[in-house]
Amino acid sequence: MSDASLAQRALRCLDLTDLTDTCTDQAIDALCARAQDPHGPVAAVCIWPQFVGRAREALRGSPVRIATVVNFPAGGEDVDRVTDDVREALSDGANEIDLVLPYEALRRGDRAIASEMVEVVREVVDQGRTLKVILETGMLMEPALIEEASRLAIEAGADFIKTSTGKTPVSATPEAAEIMLNVIKASGRPVGLKPSGGIRTVADAGIYLGLADRIMGPDWATPKTFRIGASSVFEALIAAIEGRAGSTAVGAY
C-alpha cells in the first residue's frame, strides 16, 4: 500500500484531538475546520467537555462526530460524579464518550468498581452514541492486566477499547494494541480499537492498521471499528496524501 493510500485510510479513522491544558475557543474552531479537510473528513474530534457545544455549532451539517472525555485523565472511582459529567456532555451534543477506566482499582484487584463504572456509563450512553473505554495500558503495563482490563471493558458494554489518555509517560504501544485486538477477536463482539497517544507519523499509523489487518482481517478496520487518537499526525497524513512526504510507511504497514 502506498503512503498516500495508507494516509487516506488513516485520516478517515482519525479522532483529531485537542486535550491540551491551554485549549481555547479559537483552537476548537481551528480543529473543527481541519476535521472537515477536503481530503477527509476525519471520523471525530476529541475535545474537553466544556468545548462540546462550540464544536457542535462548528460541525453542524458535517458527518464528523464529537467525542469528549470523562473521568479524565486520572481514572477516579466516583461513579456518580462521572455519570453526571456524561449526562451533561451528551446534553451539550457529544456523540461519543471516552471514559477512563478506574485502572488503579483494577491494579489493586478491585474489578467491581471498574466494572460498575463502565456498566453505569453504558446505561447513560445510548441512542446510537458510542462508548470508548480508555484502559491506560501504559500504567497497567503487565500483559495479563491489559488483557483483563480489555475483557472487563468489553463485558461491561464498551463499543471501543482505547489504549491511553496521552497524559502518561507511556501511551499507545503495538504490544498493548495486539493484546487488545486478540481480546476483541476472542469476544466475538462488535467492539473497536482506538490506539491513542504518541502516534505522529504515517508509519506509526501504519503499524496499528497493519496489526488490525493481521489479527481481525483486512476489511475490519473502518471508522466504525478503528480509530486513531492523535493531534500531531494530521499534518503528516495530509502531506502524504498530497505527495509532499517521503516514503515513511515502508516496512511499517
Closest CA to 148 of 120, 110, 174: 110
Catalytic residue among 3, 159, 194, 204: 194
The CA distance from 137 to 113, in Å, is: 18
- 194 classed as catalytic: yes
Cβ of 82: how many Cβ atoms within 10 Å? Answer: 23
The terminus-to-terminus CA distance of the chain in angstroms comes to: 8
The distance of Cα 158 from the centroid of its chain, to the nearest Å, equals 12
Find the DSSP H helices in the chain. 3-12, 25-35, 52-58, 79-92, 103-107, 111-124, 137-140, 143-155, 174-187, 202-216, 233-241
> What b/e sequence results for 114-130 when a residue is b if at least 16 CB atoms lie within 10 Å of its CB, and e otherwise?
bbbbbebbbebbeeebb
DSSP state of 96: E
- 98 classed as catalytic: yes
- Look up residue 151 and give its three cell numbers: 475483557
Q: What is the SS3 string spanning 139-207?
A: HHCCHHHHHHHHHHHHHCCCCEEECCCCCCCCCCCHHHHHHHHHHHHHHCCCCEEECECCCCCHHHHHH
Catalytic residue among 15, 98, 159, 204: 98
Catalytic residue among 3, 85, 162, 204: 162
Q: Which residues are marked as active site? A: 98, 162, 194
